[in-house]
Each structure stands twice: as C-alpha cells, then as structure tokens.
Amino acid sequence: MAGLGAKTLMFVLVATLATFVKADFKKNMIVTWGKDHIGMTGDNLRLVLDKSAGSAIRSKVAHMFGSVEMLIKLVPGNSAGTVAAYYLSSTGSAHDEIDFEFLGNATGQPYTIHTNIFAQGKGNREQQFRPWFNPTTGFHNYTIHWNPSEVVWFVDGTPIRVFRNYEKEGIAYPNKQGMKVFASLWNADDWATQGGRVKTNWTLAPFVAEGRRYKARACLWQGPVSIKQCADTTVQSNWWTSPSFSQLTPSQLTRMQTIRDGFMIYDYCKDTNRFKGVMPPECSKRQF
C-alpha cells in the first residue's frame, strides 16, 4: 500500500471489514470431525451420522455482527436421537454462542426447532418451536441476524425470536468476541428426543442432513479492534448498524407473533419452576 494517502489507506482498511462469503463450502469451511462422513462440493453440503461417527464443519474465519444464512434439509423418516446443529460460537469457558438445533423425532412426529443464546459463557435461554412445514422434504432458510442492538432468528424469512441488547442494565450480550459458523450432525439420544426416552435406531443409519447456499454477510473479526470497528455506525459497509435493523417492522412483528402463538412449545422465560421463581432479568424486558 506504499504511496497511499492517509484517507485512502483508511478507506481500504475499513472496506475489508465487511465480508461476503457465499456458497462454496469447501473453500470457506474446515472439517472438525467425521472427515469420512462429510461431502462438500460447491454450494452443497452433506452431513452423515452412523454408529461409528457423526460429522461437523466450521468456518475458516470469525465474524462480529452481520447476517449468516443456510438452506438446510433435515434427516427424513425416523430421526429420533439425532441432532442437526447450525450455530455461531466463539471458544472458551466464557464463550458467546447463538444456536439453531434441530432435534429429531420418531417417524410421523414433528421435529423440535431448538434455539439458545450464550453471552460470556451464560446460556440457559432456550426457546423451542414445532416447525409449521416439513423440514425434511425440501430446503428451508435458517438465518441468524446479529447486530449491536439485537439477535434475530429467522426461518424462511420469518423472525421467530429476538434477544435484545440490555448490556447497560447488567445483562450480558454477545458483542466482544468474534464467532465462527458451525454445522454438525451427531447422536444425542440421551436427551434429544422426548427427554432421552426414545433412542437412535441404528438399523436405519446412515442418517443424512444437507445444506446449500451458505452465505455470511458479516464483519470480519480481526481481534479486539473489531469490537469497535464492526459496531461503528459511521462506516457505510456496516449495514447491520442501520437503525432499520435495530427493530423489526410491524409486518415482521405480526408474522413472528403468529408463529410464537401457534408453534412455540417452550420458553425459558415462562419456566418458573426451573428458576425457582427468580427469573433471568431479561425476561422482564421488552425483546421485540
């Protein structure tokens, strides 16, 4: 960059913050386990689980704020005991994490769409939904949108959950650690289906979940400097900081409420027995 003026250099550095990762799994992902149980060709992903192993991948780079999406087709038929996961996570005991997990079920019984969020190592913020479609016969879009104001989980463009930033009121929020993207298929029959009562039927293996069209339109994590850079509202490429992304539209709110009223089966904020009446502080706050 020799010869560049100060303003030009600053523009070049800022322009590299926003990344657009599209489609090519083999180019953008690393196998973390189950190498022989994974297929990655172009924008197609195939995750396999049998009795010998499951499979998992993660992105090569980490992000801080933006939008991550993937089309996913879940294990068909009797998927009891299996879990397909798609999530963002940092590392360490005080990690941040934003989850989609898909808990399998016996043939004819619906999947559970399990969502959770961790901030500085604290999770236990589960909300669960029954799908209002068949997630095994075609591909459906699952998007995590994450910005300084809120985290939103979308299914086929419809928001199903919001977690707002109340850090100023002492509630931890994931905004200080870059997170990589993970996808996996694994056996969890000790808890996944009906509390572990229904086990994986290995005679039906291999179990296969598929992904397509992975996209990350997000800020590239370059270490602690990204905490401020990726939240800078004066940087044009930080589109996620626009006020229009700090609150759902009336139409989005209506669609989300329809899903929550009709298909939510668990909300940690309503589980008074679990928390012995001392509810997490965010449960008394407006989330959307």
Find, among 94, 95, 132, the residue nearest to 113 by Cα: 132
114: Cβ contacts below 8 Å, ≥ 6 apart: 99, 100, 101, 102, 103, 126, 128
How far is it, in rounded angstroms, from Cα 127 to Cα 117?
10
**Lookup: tokens for 133:** 């479609």
Find, among 188, 203, 204, the residue nearest to 104 by Cα: 188
Q: What is the predicted pLDDT for the residue at 8? A: 37
Mean pLDDT, rounded, for 72-95: 97
Q: Count of alpha carbons within 13 Å of 52, Cβ hemisphere only?
A: 6
Question: What is the bridge-based pairing of β-strands 127-129 and 112-118?
Answer: antiparallel
How far is it, in rounded angstroms, from Cα 177 to Cα 224?
8
How far is it, in rounded angstroms, from Cα 146 to Cα 216?
11
93: DSSP letter:
T
| pLDDT tens-digit map of 156-212 | 999 999 999 999 999 999 999 999 999 999 999 999 998 899 999 999 999 999 999
Whether 101 is catalytic is yes
**Lookup: tokens for 110:** 């619906």
Catalytic residue chosen out of the listed positions 97, 126, 167, 282: 97
Label residue 17 by pLDDT band (50, 70, 90): low
> In degrees, to the nearest 5, what angle opens at C-alpha 128 toward C-alphas 115 and 154?
55
Peptide bond into 281 cis (omega under 30): no
- 67 with 218: CB under 8 angstroms? yes
The pLDDT of residue 63 is above 60: yes
pTM: 0.93
Neighbours of 265 (CB within 10 A): 12
Catalytic residue chosen out of the listed positions 101, 126, 169, 210: 101
Whether 150 is catalytic is no
